[in-house]
Structure 1
Amino acid sequence: MGNVIKMDVYRMLRSRSTYYILIGLSFFLVFLINNSHESLLDSQKGLPVPKAIVGIGFDGNLLSDQMSLLQFFKVFARSQSFILILAIFSVLFINHEEASGFTKNIAGQVQKRGWLLFSKFICQGLFIVLAFLVGLVTVLAAGEMSYDEIVLGNIGQLLKEVGLQFIFHLAFAGILLLIITLIRQAIVSLLVSVLLCFGAFAFLYHAIDRWIQQGLGIPDFTMNNYTITGIISQVSIDSAKGQLIRAVIVALIYGMLTVGLSVTIKNRRDL
């Protein structure tokens, strides 16, 4: 198992596509920084602030003239930028092995084929860490071009927020892993994953909300509290303690179930 993980991590770090995706993330975050500052100026003038840019939303309440790394990280995380890039990386990295026939060649050398997927999940986690680092470096390098000042702020709080978002994003990585394992087609997997990031299934969530609120008599129920995309866009270390605990539990359940299902499917499915 350890050798499989080392092999996949080595391939990931040696792959040009990994760095192309991270560079693309950096350019997109620069665009988001500039756009968020324009929105801040509009709000200061009393103009309405757009809630989404090309399907990516950000919380205008987090913006100010003097931004800290923590504030910017919250903006980036809630904008769904990281999960969008994670979706692209996951589909390209995992599906490439299926298309190239690498999985068939290596499957006979491991005791259980499901370990191959668990190894990919480890690589997804490593990519999340790299994406977070790229985001923070991008802020330090490009943030002051738009904002008056970028301050380090409370590093302890920043690390807590990064750790919390890592749990949420890792749970989303498990969902991506299950989608890719079930569909096995790169284009379709990418389409479904991107639509999930852009909130294309919101109409389904609203239908479930109405059914539970009206049919079961639970007026305060909302699916956003139990979807990873909803949790990422709403929950931070500043959230109420009950909301924070619920979000972490939901994320852990998602992660364990999706990875477990993916590994089980891989073990039972013919190559």
Structure 2
Amino acid sequence: MAAKTESYLRKKIKSDFGKVRLNLCLVGHTGAGKSAFINSIVSISKGHISDVSSVKTEDIGGVGTMKLLRIQGNTTDLLNQVYVFDTMGFTLAKSPEDNGITDKDLKAVLEGEVEINHKFSSVGSERTGYHNRQENKPHCVIIVVSAEALQLHDDSVLTRKMRNLHRFIPSDVSRIVVITCCDKISESVHQNVNEIYKSKKIYSIVQKATKTFGTPENMVFPIVNYYKELSLNPEKNVPILYALLFALTFAADRQELRTQT
């Protein structure tokens, strides 16, 4: 069943968006799985496990992505006309040096004012040198959050920062939420990814995401990233492809609206 669904999703993405130039931008907290999600969708796009974005392990500290990265597939890939942007995450701000992306940098990225390889600032907010780079402005922002982070108390620093994300997303940019690490909070999902749409625990996390980010449930997608696997499997691909399909659908809608103004 999963293999048939995967085949359908692949064909739809290829037919609907194979020749459409779209920008997707990932934002979220450090450790959310942004880079792992990029590797996952690129792996599915290419048909084999790929490593195109650096993934931080639990043994390595820091804030992860330091520069604005733009990733595009080859002409033979599923995502041959889609640009995926990876950004520095935000942190719990234990120290100024480990504060993650600044509000100014985040706003500039989402407004399309940042060049590729722009080095993000983790301290201070008085940076200059932004330029109008509308070709880099996202059509859809993918807010990536770990299921574990969503379990934090509503008054936690991280939860408050996540709630504030909507302030930085322009009105002509769509958004979806991708919840990663679902296998870490649900034993049934850990044992079988197919349970991701049946688990009551995952559904409660989806509801928490709608409350945190102000997005409806049909814009929230629980997934499990590829991280340790050596090969792809349809059960894991399907939730990721659903998230990708809707991100592209919403992105195309916003692109169309921009061309009309």
TM-score, scaled relative to structure 2: 0.28
Which fold has the larger relative contact order, with Cα–Cα distance below 8 Å and residues 6 or more apart in sequence?
1
Higher Cα radius of gyration: 1
Structure with bigger strand share is 2
Higher helix share: 1
